[in-house]
Amino acid sequence: MKIEAVQFFARQAWVEGTWAQDVLLGVGVDGHWSQVLPGATDAQRADAVVLSGPVLPGVVNAHGHAFQRAIAGLTERRGSGTQAADDFWSWRDRMYSAANCITPDQLETIARQLYSELLVGGYTQVCEFHYLHNALSGGPYAHTAEMSMALVRAAQHTGIGLTLLPTLYMRSGFGANGLREDQSRFASTPQSIVRIVEDVQRQAAGDPRINLGVAIHSLRAVSPPALKELVAYAHQAGLPVHIHIAEQTQEVDDCLVHTGQRPIEWLLNHVDVNARWNLVHATHTTRDELVGIQAGGASVVICPATEANLGDGVFDLPGYATVKGAWSIGSDSHVTRRWSEELRLLEYAQRLTHRKRNMAAQCLRNTSSAAALLEAALAGGSAASGQALAGIAVGQRADFVVLDTMSPALQGVPSDHMLDALVFSSPDARFSAVHVAGQTVVPQDDAGFAPAMRALWGG
């Protein structure tokens, strides 16, 4: 990927948590912001490319499973039988039906479609929590990173930034000795995860949009010694670490039965949970656990649309804000693919729970709920991705989107309320342009997506 130095001019841009006017934006040859100058004069901006609307920073999608895009909209019917339960665990069984039939070519096609949709939704980096490692038979591919490289190629094709997180998955639950038959494609060891990381690093060398981290699927899926072994490698290699944790009450209950401690409590007591750590969901927490996460410098990844879709519960945003905890946003199963919708759902869940309005503005100490949510998501996104993606500031990667002010949600809206309308007014506002590392990307639907879906599900 060749990056060229360029200057942009925006009449309005989101800088340091507020709208700035007449902003000159310089991009260096490294794809990072070299200059951010509000109040630029006509002479200063004479040679700059003029942007057509208000400019917002690109947002990190801090948690996703690309293959699950293939089942979006296909799990919304109750199982047969009047007494059939429908919860996270029954959804998981349906999700496995996709996991166990997708080939590398199909995964690349699905990811191309998804990543284009994420770009349209304002995301410029995605953290791929990837545990679909093995062949359809359950055995390893000849090339360990076969499925991982399908995701890398999809990211390179669409232009989105990618933090690939090869995921350790070893057992079906607490106390189990191994995986279920329908989980065989997930099988991995600390050594196999390291091989994938190093293989992808070699193959993607030279592309600054692609970087690596590691993930532990969950405490129930990994033994403590294996967890500690992979974390030690990540620390030595300087990689971010992600883990699903405390998403479901059953998971909390099972952890208590087998360890005598809650999941986050166990993690805090047995591992150095530091700034490399990103705890995905953390839906069911105590105040002491929230204090412990913040004290170690770790972050939480909140996925409001998926957590609502699966009936997980509501994250304690006010409690976490009280201890000034860091967090980012993710779309997880990709039932929605716009950050504005994730932030809207996060706020609305708090309003429904507490029966008050503008909860984010109140607990995050801002006059605007949209501004409070966006600023927090930007700050947490850098930790999740392992990239400098904290907004429009010198030294950060030059990722940004341009608002289309002709969108129905924005027409007639005062300029200083553009972000509020983007997040809380429907239908969703559009972005007229998307830039990654200062370079224009043009999201396009993948022509192979519909045939791939028909091959998987018929119709």
- Contact yes or no for 433/51 (Cβ under 8 A): yes
Just list the catalytic residues.
Answer: 281, 332
Closest CA relative to residue 344, chosen from 334, 358, 355: 358
Longest dimension (CA), the chain: 72
Query: What is residue 2's predicted lDDT score, i.e. its pLDDT?
Result: 72
Q: Does 284 have pLDDT greater than 60?
A: yes
Nearest-10 Cα torsion for 35, 36, 38, 42: 40
Q: List pLDDT tens digits, range 103-146.
A: 999 999 999 999 999 999 999 999 999 999 999 999 999 999 99
Domains and CATH numbers, the chain: 6-57+392-441 (2.30.40.10), 59-385 (3.20.20.140)
- Contact yes or no for 25/13 (Cβ under 8 A): yes
Q: Does 82 have pLDDT greater than 80?
A: no
Q: Helix (H, G, I), strand (E, B), or coil: what is residue 36?
A: strand
CA distance 24 to 55: 11
- Burial string for 195-222 (b: 16+ CB within 10 Å, else e) reads ebbebbeebbeeeebbbbbbbbbbbbbb
CA distance 459 to 455: 9
CA distance 300 to 322: 14
pTM of the model: 0.97
Q: List pLDDT tens digits, range 196-241.
A: 999 999 999 989 999 999 999 999 999 999 999 999 999 999 999 9
Q: List pLDDT tens digits, range 175-196.
A: 999 999 999 999 999 999 999 9
